[in-house]
Structure 1
């Protein structure tokens, strides 16, 4: 696998040591990140991802991220090799004490790019844990990702590659690395941000581009989507898809080991997304929903 690395303002060797032993991103997960798809050599929806990176950093109290420096780094890694498919931007608070107290920085910024293969299908399971919508990290793309790792390992132990969870109220929330779309009763719904889910870039574009194409799609009201909607999908009365930068709009192939049929509207939405993405590599940001 190809791995291109940029840090400290320049390209680095893939196996070069970059992070100090006391970096707070390493010791306590004190950082934020973004993962982007690469389309024809360009980082897809870079402006939207940088806006969310800035938001996440602000939410956890980091100093403002040097967005232009990050853009420079993204350009450098993508210019280094052909066939790259994915970019990750990681920003941590930098070196700090061996405690939860944050140090004075400066920030660590590391950008990597790989040629990892596309995720061609999604097989999901429900997990017994819940997302805390009241957490200070709710809606933040944080490097404190151990919760998601545990849930993903639970899914993998059951032959799946994604885990779907509720929030503390028992409402459908999100996947470990994806948002969820539900096709039922002649419309497509997605859980609201108040449920505790991340404001996914692909989720937002799916809402916008789907509405532009005349597809009935909207954000559900708080509490409108319970976890029982997953049972409806197993019974064929609803259909499911996940959205993420590495999956785009991807109907679920199975849930809890049961194969699922793709919904007609979700299939159309996936096609609309693919066409729009081909013609607009950096769609201008709009207000989050």
Structure 2
């Protein structure tokens, strides 16, 4: 089992503890980034890919939720590398920051944020896949539009619908009917090619 990094400590997953009052659990108050690993240039190990870009987006998401993280990008980079270093071959690491322990409502407590990194190996991606559209839309005017938040219940429901239909991905439109994104994928359209 791969170790996890939790609030500055590399731990066995069974020893990692997050309070049940953590706002990431009770109200989905948190942000995350998932990074693939890639072969290190000129090396023989796999490292997190595009760390700077992902940390920049994480900071934008934190700002959008009004969460102030007191860890430096260097600390977060070290945490990502610490977990990725235990993955043999291709993998992914997920950096999650939550609002920390809080009351059982929407208000925050002011307690320190919870920060953790978990990882897993990747067996590979299928060459092709089937996707379906779902009847639910992304709200481009939402307070969290464009933020990578931990509130993924919509994605869970949409992906279950896709799997029931024999597909491996569900695609969302926005409120204007424009193709937006998948539950766990980005969408690219090639025209004239």
TM-score w.r.t. length of structure 2: 0.90
Q: Say which of 46, 49, 57 aligns to 2:54.
A: 49
SS where residue 180 of structure 1 aligns? coil
Task: State the secondary structure of the residue aligned to 1:181.
Answer: coil
State how 1:66-85 maps to structure 2 within 5 Å. Answer: 66=71, 67-85=73-91
Cα deviation digits, residues 140-170 of structure 1 (max 9, x gap): 1000110111111111111111111111111
TM-superposed CA distance for 1:65, in Å, is 5.3
Deviates more, 1:69-78 or 1:43-52: 69-78
Residue 104 of structure 1 is aligned with which of 96, 110, 116? 110
Residue 22 (1) aligns with residue 21 (2) = yes
- In structure 2, the partner of 1:31 is 30
Residue ranges of structure 2 left out of the alignment (5+ in a row): 40-45
Q: Separation in 2 of the partners of 1:21 and 1:157?
A: 32
**Which is richer in helix?**
1
Q: Tell me what 1:169 maps to.
A: 176
Matched residue of 1:170: which SS?
coil
CA displacement at 1:69 relative to structure 2: 1.7
Alignment of 1:1-289 (within 5 A): 2-40=1-39, 41-64=46-69, 66=71, 67-120=73-126, 121-184=128-191, 186=192, 265=193
Q: Secondary structure at the match of 2:146?
A: coil
Count, aligned residues: 185
The Cα of 1:84 is off from its aligned counterpart by 4.8
- 1: CA distance, partners of 2:63 / 2:187: 26
Deviation at 1:59, TM superposition (A): 0.5
Q: CA RMSD in A?
A: 1.4
Work out whether residues 87 and 120 of structure 2, in 8 Å CA contact, stay in contact via their aligned partners in 1: no
User: Quick check: which has more Rg, 1 or 2?
Assistant: 1
Q: Is the 8 A contact 1:4 1:14 kept in 2?
A: yes
